[in-house]
Structure 1
Amino acid sequence: MLHDVEAVVLVGGKGTRLRPLTLSAPKPMLPTAGVPFLAHLLSRIREAGVRRVVLGTSYLAETFSDHFGDGSALGLEIEYVVENEPLGTGGGIRNVYKHLSADDVLVFNGDVLAGTDLTAVVDTHRRTKADATLHLVRVQDPRAFGCVPTDDDGRVTAFLEKTEDPPTDQINAGCYVFRREVIESIPEGRPVSVERETFPGLLSSGARVSGHVDVAYWRDMGTPMDLVRGSADLVRGVAPSAALPGPTGESLVLEGARIHPTARVAGGTTVGRNVTIGKGARIEGSMLFDGAVVGDNARVLHAVVGAGARIDESALVSETVIGDRAVVGAHCELRHGMRVWPDVVLPPHGIRFSADV
């Protein structure tokens, strides 16, 4: 158990790719499998034995403190450190330095869903006597990411940009362990990229940068469809979390939801509080936020339906984000990454994407 380790979580990015869903919530606070996304990460930190967490944020900081408070309800001690202006990943880590006391510090990007064994990551850091250690995850297609090769001794040798022919399948998974004095060496009071400046600088100085490599569950929650898939994985138990407000399974149904007996709800769907799902509706791998309504025979497939939104009779919403309080009229059809902003009303038969037969 990591009782002698502190954790830093960098949160609060505006998450502009998710803004069609809601106009107010920062990305780490978006409901994901029934609770704010950040709650899942905090639960993993607590399960590893860490008790003290510093949240570094520069955007809507009060949203985090209002919800999580001092952390006691989670079995944690949470302190909040606010950036006056965005400082980047490295700058954000340096900004919390004065609030740290442990020799080893776990650092997390707050928009990543992962399942690695945190104790094992710290063990690698200590066993290799590293100055910094990165969790590296192997992915099937690393071309969309920068990659991080390591030598036979587990030492990181380079930080490479995206390429069509990556030399390794190992990518930076957004979880690090730092010796506290290394954090102190990061430039203070200016934006710093930990990936482009801090880690390459450590390598060039001869510092020991280790890689902890595994194939654990990992997903960057940067897009709405990643949010949908990550939420479904949490509900089904594919991604680990002690914060899930119910048992794992094909669906998570929260208090007050009303589902017609003929409706089919599966694939890791979250049904929010006071949601109504009509006769013959089919919901697959989706997120229905509080107060949403899905009409008779409507289909919602791998989609997000915002709070108070309505999907009317026989409409189809597939891989689409429906903003809070929006209305998708009867027999409309939305597919393939469509976004409907909050409060927009689409009339019956107003839009379709199927080819005429």
Structure 2
Amino acid sequence: MKALVLAGGTGSRMRPLTHTAAKQLIPVGNKPILFYGLEALVAAGVTEIGIVVGDTHREIRDAVGDGGRFGARVTYLRQERPLGLAHAVLIASDFLADDDFVLYLGDNFLVGGIDEVVADFRAARPDAGVLLTRVPDPSAFGVAELGPDGRLARLEEKPAEPRSDLAVVGVYLFTPVIHEAVRAVEPSPRGELEITDALQWLIDQGHVVRPTLVKGYWKDTGTAADLLAVNRTVLDGLTPEVRGTVDEGSVISGRVRVEPGARVVRSRVVGPAVIGAGAEVVDSCVGPYTALAEGCRVVRSGVADSIVLSRAEIAGVGRVEASLVGRDASVHSTDHVSTAHRLVLGDHSSVHIGH
């Protein structure tokens, strides 16, 4: 079995951050979201992986390399424009050949992995398998309708009036029959070849498409709020460890990881939180639910429920919360501020906050 991981999306809902960064590489718990998916695939025994890339292909290649660090073999497949999930399968046909495969969206996060799902698919080998979960607003996703017998009866992409609350999770399993389906479907009104249309084609042709209800936590990290929610989930499972320096004037409480080379000076860190390698926290309060990446500096500030990317600096701005701060961004005050701020800043941003 192979895997096809999609990492070519533009991340339009997370701009300005994704103007300069691949959305699949934005970290949660100080690890790129894409890496969780690659690790889940390898843990399930799927090690031959094709990654579909777009305009951010160089960044994805630099981060993932040949896949050896994950125990995988990675092949890169260029998609010139994001023309839909079925289109990605279409352009990957030579790589996939006649093998069964997992289609995994690189910006999806699924707690508990896919070991059991992959094992069940290999054992039963239906023509296709889809993962479903109940959501409060299914109109933002592909929506599945089950028949009275529990079988998958109908799929629709982002319907205005959903027929159920079952959203299609961004992990699919296919036999080679899917190649016939993606060649048969037409572009949707939004100009894309939809994988839901290909699955519906399989159903209409009498093929077996097996639904599986996801029991654990799943999130499509399409927005900053989604990323922060996943960051909280990851940090809830954090193993505390102090490998950096914490001075006598500082207090560490709860599950906190301080990476090598990090310094905590006259500060309080409330877990769950992670302080990345080489980061500095001085005269500040960090956490809970905060991930500071490598080389960050937080001085005379409070940061909570936030993701702060590499080498960003937050100084003298009171309290920043529920924020996503890009690489090399600078958030400084023009005077002392004691109120809280919510920010989504792209890489290399500079913000000065005053009264």
**Contact 1:20/1:322 (CA < 8 Å) preserved in 2?**
no
Q: Output one character per residue of 1:107-148: Cα deviation in whole Å (capped at 9) or x when no partner.
A: 111110002552432344456552211011234564654431
Cross-structure match for 1:299: 302
Bigger drift between 157-166 and 175-184 goes to: 157-166
Q: 1:255 offset after TM fit, Å?
A: 2.7
Cross-structure match for 1:110: 106
Give the number of aligned pairs.
334
Q: 1:82 offset after TM fit, Å?
A: 0.9
Cross-structure match for 2:92: 96
Q: 1:95 offset after TM fit, Å?
A: 1.0
The letter for the 1-side match of 2:53 is T
Q: Note if 1:13 corresponds to 2:9.
A: yes
**Contact 2:3/2:48 (CA < 8 Å) preserved in 1?**
yes
RMSD value over aligned CA atoms?
3.0
Cross-structure match for 1:331: 337
Equivalent residue for 2:51, pick from 46, 50, 55: 55
Q: What fraction of aligned residue pairs are identical, expressed as a percent?
A: 26
Cross-structure match for 2:256: 251
Distance 1:118 1:341 in 2: 32
Structure 2 unaligned blocks of 5 or more: 244-253
**Contact 1:325/1:342 (CA < 8 Å) preserved in 2?**
yes
- Secondary structure in structure 2 of the residue aligned to 1:149: strand
- Secondary structure in structure 1 of the residue aligned to 2:144: coil
Distance 2:260 2:8 in 1: 28
Judging changes above 3 Å, is the alpha-carbon distance between structure 1 residues 158 and 251 closer, same or farther for their aligned structure 2 residues?
A: farther
Q: Output one character per residue of 1:296-352: Cα deviation in whole Å (capped at 9) or x when no partner.
A: 2x221222334333222351112223333222314164545x4345444444524xx
Q: 1:76 offset after TM fit, Å?
A: 0.8
Q: 1:198 offset after TM fit, Å?
A: 1.2
Bigger drift between 273-282 and 212-221 goes to: 273-282
Q: Note if 1:150 corresponds to 2:146.
A: yes
Cross-structure match for 2:230: 230
Distance 2:262 2:353 in 1: 25
- Secondary structure in structure 1 of the residue aligned to 2:213: strand
Judging changes above 3 Å, is the alpha-carbon distance between structure 1 residues 205 and 302 closer, same or farther for their aligned structure 2 residues?
A: same
Cross-structure match for 1:354: none
Q: Output one character per residue of 1:58-114: Cα deviation in whole Å (capped at 9) or x when no partner.
A: 222122222322212221111111123333111001111111245321111111000
Q: Note if 1:79 corresponds to 2:75.
A: yes
Judging changes above 3 Å, is the alpha-carbon distance between structure 1 residues 85 and 40 closer, same or farther for their aligned structure 2 residues?
A: same
- Secondary structure in structure 2 of the residue aligned to 1:307: coil
Distance 1:108 1:342 in 2: 27
Equivalent residue for 2:265, pick from 232, 244, 260: 260
**Contact 1:294/1:311 (CA < 8 Å) preserved in 2?**
yes
Bigger drift between 200-209 and 14-23 goes to: 14-23
Equivalent residue for 2:134, pick from 133, 138, 141: 138
Equivalent residue for 1:277, pick from 281, 284, 301: 281
Distance 1:273 1:18 in 2: 26
Judging changes above 3 Å, is the alpha-carbon distance between structure 1 residues 343 and 51 closer, same or farther for their aligned structure 2 residues?
A: closer
Q: TM-score, normalised by structure 1?
A: 0.82
Bigger drift between 224-233 and 188-197 goes to: 188-197
Q: 1:156 offset after TM fit, Å?
A: 0.9
Cross-structure match for 1:220: 220
- Secondary structure in structure 2 of the residue aligned to 1:312: strand
- Secondary structure in structure 2 of the residue aligned to 1:157: strand
Q: 1:36 offset after TM fit, Å?
A: 2.2
**Contact 2:307/2:325 (CA < 8 Å) preserved in 1?**
yes
- Secondary structure in structure 1 of the residue aligned to 2:155: coil
Q: 1:153 offset after TM fit, Å?
A: 4.7
Distance 1:229 1:150 in 2: 29
Distance 2:298 2:90 in 1: 47
